[in-house]
A and B are shown apart, each in its own frame.
Chain A
Amino acid sequence: MAPKAKLKRTQHWMQTVILHPGTNEQAVASRKAQALVSKRLFPRLVLRSKTLDSYQRIGIYRDMYLARLREALASDYPALLHYLRDEAFTELVAAYVHAHPSRSYTLNRLGDHLPEYIRSTRRLARWEFLYDLARLELAMSQLFDASESPVLKPRDIADVPPEAWETVRLKPIEAFRLLAFRYPVNAYLKSVRDRTPHPSTRRENNWVVVFRKHYTLRRLDLTRPAYDLLSALVSGVALGKAIALAGRRRAIGEVQLFSWFRDWVANGLFQAIEYDQPIHQSGRARRTRRK
């Protein structure tokens, strides 16, 4: 006689067995699984087929679970996979999804906790480098899905009255992320993508902005002053004060500033210029111009 497993109990049992690490036999015999369906009753709940026993049949779902999540994380973290190689990456995935099982209907956000998992567990050799590498790849996967923003045009820049520059604020596009690293992970990622020899992975502070232009993800290496300036700007600091903050370590020349802004605007990093005070231009008062 089949066990009187109601739908809820059956589903909780099956999920418990699928998520349990180890072998099929260990999963079915686990305390958590047996609290729902005893090992003795298992063959009567999951019937054998002509070719597979009950353990093998539930094992198909267990195998597919890990394979599917590994595929999703490999897609989001290709450089991490490249560095670790198949076996170590698969072990990382198994441990990670055990600690952070998916709670979403989409696999796109499955890897959101992976950098922090690498940092907090410190199990991997060179975990500090891999933590930085995972942070870079996570930023890219998150920006891939970010909302599209309007982009500041050169005309918008030209419209700013000279006296207003000191106090304007620049609003970045949605698909924008500033990152500071202790290891040269952007160069490493580039070498993986380009299939060129890998650079040194020794410690070296570096700064990167990741953004999306025309639906394509891009990365720009930044100097420390440029990173500081962008950091201040995206946190809402007015332009004049942001330049002063960024120039505390070393004064930033006008030529340098002009060059940065030309590149940043050309790359579409900003979506709007916002004014603190109403300005008068061409006989019209405009408080805030959001693109």
Chain B
Amino acid sequence: MANRWKFPDLGFGVGLRTVHYASILADNPPVDWFEVLSENYMDTGGRPLYVLDQVAERYPVVLHGVSMSVGSTDPLNIDFLTKLKALAERTRALWVSDHLCWTGVSGLNVHDLLPMPYTDESLRYTISRVKRISEFLERPLILENPSTYLEFGTSTWTEVDFLSALAQEADCGILLDVNNVYVSSFNHGLDPNHFIDRIPVDRVVQYHLAGHTHKGTHILDTHSDHVIDAVWELYRRSCQRTGGVATLLEWDEKIPSFEVVHAEALKARQYRGLPAMEPKRAYGT
């Protein structure tokens, strides 16, 4: 089922990371697309921007941010949005995403994806913010479900219903992070299948997949390892509903070689019912 904006299914991409710059520029790896961390390129005129320009020339690119602070009660940061819009135009980004969260108030930034209380008040407020952001960016905003480590007693909505209502009312897309669904569900004692089965599929534009760190009492979303089997199964379950959309593998700690990261992304093919593609075949060696 296609998303309502008919954003293309870009296939299987990986996140652009500094440690892979040299190999990407030298080898032109056969990756379907790259996701770019917006904030890393908004205030630099140095090598990161040079590399990004090269990558954007060769591959489809989407922008993914962590600092929009969509749910913050601070005023919108117009300077941030202006730079983000310019970067999206410079890279011809196919879409722009961030998280359903807040990152700070009173002009401060905690640099974390902090959880929202899922209340009527929060929903009304966030809908108005997302509408204003989308209008400013002149494109629909795509929002990701973050990993969360606490629940507010004030919440009257489930996360999935809150996100679904927000997407519907603010007319935004959803970046469904399957690993985050697993992490948050474990941390809150919920059934991850419930989230996967209730998300409105016509709003899902992109998937995220990643590894995590199990601490016994809770799980941290560290992007530091291979995707676990249970997350792959959630991804398969979701693809059966969506028909498959652009899928992105994130790896941010203990990052292995580009080929290993790409191979992990290509594993997603089999869970989507596509023929497996070995990395060697993808690289033509």
Contacts and interface: CB of A to CB of B under 8 A. Distances in A.
Interface of A: 2-8, 10-12, 14-15, 18-19, 44-47, 49-52, 54, 56-58, 60-61, 64-65, 68-69, 72, 101-109, 143-148, 174-175, 212, 215-216
11 contacts: A5-B117, A6-B121, A10-B152, A11-B102, A45-B152, A47-B150, A51-B217, A51-B218, A60-B150, A61-B112, A104-B109
Contacts of A147: 45
A108 B109 CA distance: 13
Interface string B41-52: 011111110100
A145 B108 contact: no
Contact of B109 (A49, A64, A105): A105
B13 to A, nearest CB: 24
Interface stretch (B72-80, B162-170, B201-209, B263-271): B72-80
A5 B122 CA distance: 11
Given A7-B117, A50-B189, A61 B150 contact: yes
A2 B73 contact: no
A211 B73 CA distance: 41
B242 interface: no
A136 to B, nearest CB: 18
Contacts of A101: 108-109
A46 B109 contact: no
A140 B151 CA distance: 42
Interface string B25-56: 00000000000000100111111101000000
B3 interface: no
B17 to A, nearest CB: 14
9 smallest A-B Cβ distances: which pairs? A147-B45, A105-B67, A215-B47, A51-B217, A2-B153, A57-B150, A145-B44, A8-B73, A60-B149
Contact of B39 (A5, A7, A106, A215): A106
Given A5-B117, A10-B117, 18 more contacts: A3-B154, A7-B125, A11-B102, A12-B105, A45-B154, A46-B152, A49-B151, A50-B189, A57-B150, A58-B150, A60-B218, A64-B220, A68-B111, A68-B112, A105-B69, A105-B103, A145-B43, A145-B45
Q: Which of A19, A49, A143 has the most CB of B within 10 A?
A: A49
B104 interface: yes
B274 interface: no
Contacts of B71: 7
B43 A102 contact: no
A183 to B, nearest CB: 28
A187 B107 CA distance: 39
A147 B189 CA distance: 49
Given A2-B153, A60-B218, A106-B67, A65 B46 contact: no
B114 interface: yes
Contact of A15 (B45, B106, B119, B154): B106
Contacts of A148: 45-46, 50
B224 interface: no
B188 interface: yes
A174 B153 CA distance: 52
Interface in B53-96: 67, 69, 71-73, 77, 80
B108 A174 contact: no
Nearest to A8: B73
B153 A44 contact: yes
A49 B152 CA distance: 11
Contacts of A57: 149-150
B134 interface: no
